[in-house]
Amino acid sequence: MSEGGKGGDARVGRDGVGIGGQGGDGGVGAGIAGRGGDAQVQGDGLARGGDGGNAGTPDGRGGRGARGPGEAMGHRTEYWRFGAGGAGANHPEYERRLQLLIASCRDYCTMFPDRARYIEAQIDRVPISWTNLWLQERGENWRVELGLEGYVLPALPGLK
């Protein structure tokens, strides 16, 4: 397991408020999660540093991009992109698996067009039994499990 990123520093002058960004979560391999951004206020005002991005995960997903200050502080969604960190690169096998899952979802929506809009609106998800049987029918030796936010892919050999 790699180490998490250091949190950001805050420097404040006079009556301001500064909040350093959170460091990213640790992951697999030798990679280190991103450091939180610093915040500096010279006088009155508020500054918040962006959060550090996470390190990669055992399934091969690159580190998730960090929340920007706008998201962390609950500002309007149009501001969330400012100060938000980018995601790390995925392992090539993870990318291949993503493409298979996208194809599985498209096939499901084609076969069951009355359910497609609920899938696209993220009210429902493609049943895990469909996805796993679809993968088996294509000769894949891996399966997905259900997690809190969607499918969980199995760890790639050598990335635990």
Where is pLDDT greater, at 18 or 96?
Answer: 96
Q: How many CA atoms lie within 13 A of 127 on its CB side?
A: 8
Checking if the pLDDT of 121 tops 80, the result is yes
Does residue 45 form part of some domain?
yes
Check residue 102 and give its pLDDT.
97
11 within domain boundaries? yes
Last residue of a domain, one of 58, 90, 122: 90
Which range of residues forms the domain containing residue 36? Answer: 1-90
Residue 126 phi, psi (nearest 5): -60, 130
On the question of pLDDT at 10 being above 70, the answer is: no
pLDDT band at 98 (very low <50, low <70, confident <90, very high): very high
Work out the average pLDDT over 62-86.
82
pLDDT band with cut points at 50, 70 and 90 for residue 1: low
Q: How confident is the model at residue 42 (pLDDT cuts 50, 70, 90)?
A: confident
Residue 29's pLDDT band (boundaries 50, 70, 90)?
low
Domain count, the chain: 2
- The mean per-residue pLDDT over the stretch 95-118 comes to 97
Give the long-range contacts of residues 135-140, CB within 8 A, separation 24 or more: 135/100, 135/104, 138/100, 140/100
Q: Are residues 97 and 86 in the same domain?
A: no
Q: Does some domain include residue 159?
A: no
pLDDT in tens, 51-60: 777 778 889 8
Residue 69 and residue 102 in one domain: no
- Domain end point (choices 75, 90, 105): 90
Same domain for 96 and 86: no
145: in domain: yes
The whole-angstrom separation of Cα 121 and Cα 56 is 28
CB within 8 Å of 125: residues ≥ 6 apart: 119, 150, 151
Q: Tell which wins on pLDDT, 157 or 31.
A: 157
What is the phi/psi pair of residue 68, to 5°?
-85, 170
More confident: 127 or 82:
127
Same domain? For 8 and 83 the reply is: yes
Same domain for 62 and 74: yes
Say if 157 falls within a structural domain.
Answer: no
Is 99 found in the same domain as 138? yes
Q: Quick check: is 42 in a domain?
A: yes
For residue 160, being part of any structural domain is answered with no
